[in-house]
Amino acid sequence: MLKEEDDLSWYARKADSLRGEAPVPCAPADPAAAARSAALLAELSAGGIRGSIADRTLYTRRLPPGCRGCLAGRGTNCYVTGLCTRECFFCFNEQPRTDQLVLHGIRIEDPGEAREIVERYGLRSVGLSGGEPLLFPDRVLALLRVLRSGPHRCRVDLYTNGDRADDETLRRLKEAGLDSVRFNLAANGFDTAPVERALRYFPETTVEVPVIPDRLPEYEAMALKLDGLGVPYLNIHELFACRENAPGVAASGFSAKSRSADLTWMPTAEGEEAALRLLLFSLRRARTLSVYYCSCRTQELIGRRGLARRRSS
């Protein structure tokens, strides 16, 4: 249950930035692009893709363990800091960047407050993200210790661009009970070195990236390399526009998809086809890597489930 003193202004601003009109040119409806996506979905279906075509929640082999609680609406995000080592054009974090700690949309001053919020809302998985959380490794370790001390098992995944993921840090994270690390390789030019390091400590090491439509060959090469390295999971997202990333998305030549009744987010017009192409490529070519397409529709679904749980708790 919400408390009087909970500061939800961060959550409200985030929701507003996703729902509001972003200054990205809106592409006219394109029947040819819709037909290409429909053909890709048919090929994926015939090839044995799993999940839901209607929700665009699709995966080739198995869902990453950290995604199950999230899909059930029992996961949440812990924004460890807004500061980062990179400036990706697609970044949806609030500008100007600020160093603040926010769990489940509630701003907290100290990692010690995390356990009470997780217990209050019956949360079963937490993604530690940012910004770049490993700018503050001691804060991450303190959060891990607190989340590990609760009466219920809470899964914890860390989202990072890998810039600060050296061996010593990875070892300390493992010792503190972190379940897995998810690397955004679209942020570092597809450099797999941090992923290779993490595999020594975390068998469930995952790569999680937005699919930038005009860089598909690099994504395909990355998928094959991850497969060869024995990385178990690759999560791909549909590129979307929001108020924070709108200038970068527009300057990169992408446009917003025309509004549909069932989407409040702003997927780019080019995003879905690119993600489906990468999914189909991986279905056909990867030997062990499992690829999961977490689309804008999926994320809306997750948001609705989480909100329903929040209202009922």
- Note the residues at the interface with ligand SF4 (CB under 6 A): 84, 86-88, 91, 93, 130-132, 161, 184, 187
Provide, rounded to whole angstroms, the least separation between the CB of residue 103 and ligand SF4: 17
Provide, rounded to whole angstroms, the least separation between the CB of residue 209 and ligand SF4: 10
Buried b (16+ CB within 10 A) or exposed e, 229-255: eebbbbbbbbbbbbbbbbebbbeeebb
Provide, rounded to whole angstroms, the least separation between the CB of residue 111 and ligand SF4: 20
Residue with Cβ nearer ligand SF4 (86 or 164): 86
Can you give 229-294 as a three-state secondary structure string? HCCCEEEEEECEECCCCHHHHHHCCCCECCCCCCCCCEEECCHHHHHHHHHHHHHHHCCCCEEEEE
Provide, rounded to whole angstroms, the least separation between the CB of residue 88 and ligand SF4: 3
Cβ neighbourhood burial of 284 (10 Å; 0-12, 13-18, 19+): exposed
β-strand pairing of 155-160 with 101-103: unpaired
Residue with Cβ nearer ligand SF4 (102 or 187): 187
Spatial separation of the C-alpha atoms in residues 247 and 2, rounded to whole Å? 35
Residue with Cβ nearer ligand SF4 (37 or 85): 85
Residue with Cβ nearer ligand SF4 (37 or 95): 95
Provide, rounded to whole angstroms, the least separation between the CB of residue 71 and ligand SF4: 22
The tokens for 76 are 């949440």
Residue with Cβ nearer ligand SF4 (30 or 163): 163
Question: Using an 8 Å Cβ cutoff, are 236 and 275 in contact?
Answer: yes
Instruction: Tell me which residue of 103, 84, 105, 104 sits closest to 95, measured CA to CA.
Output: 84
- Find the angle CA(210)-CA(220)-CA(162) to the nearest 5 degrees: 50
Residue with Cβ nearer ligand SF4 (130 or 306): 130
Residue with Cβ nearer ligand SF4 (94 or 196): 94
Which residues on adjacent β-strands are paired with residue 182? 159, 206
Provide, rounded to whole angstroms, the least separation between the CB of residue 242 and ligand SF4: 12
Provide, rounded to whole angstroms, the least separation between the CB of residue 87 and ligand SF4: 5
- State whether residue 98 is helix, strand or coil: coil
Instruction: Tell me which residue of 241, 245, 268 sits closest to 257, measured CA to CA.
Output: 268
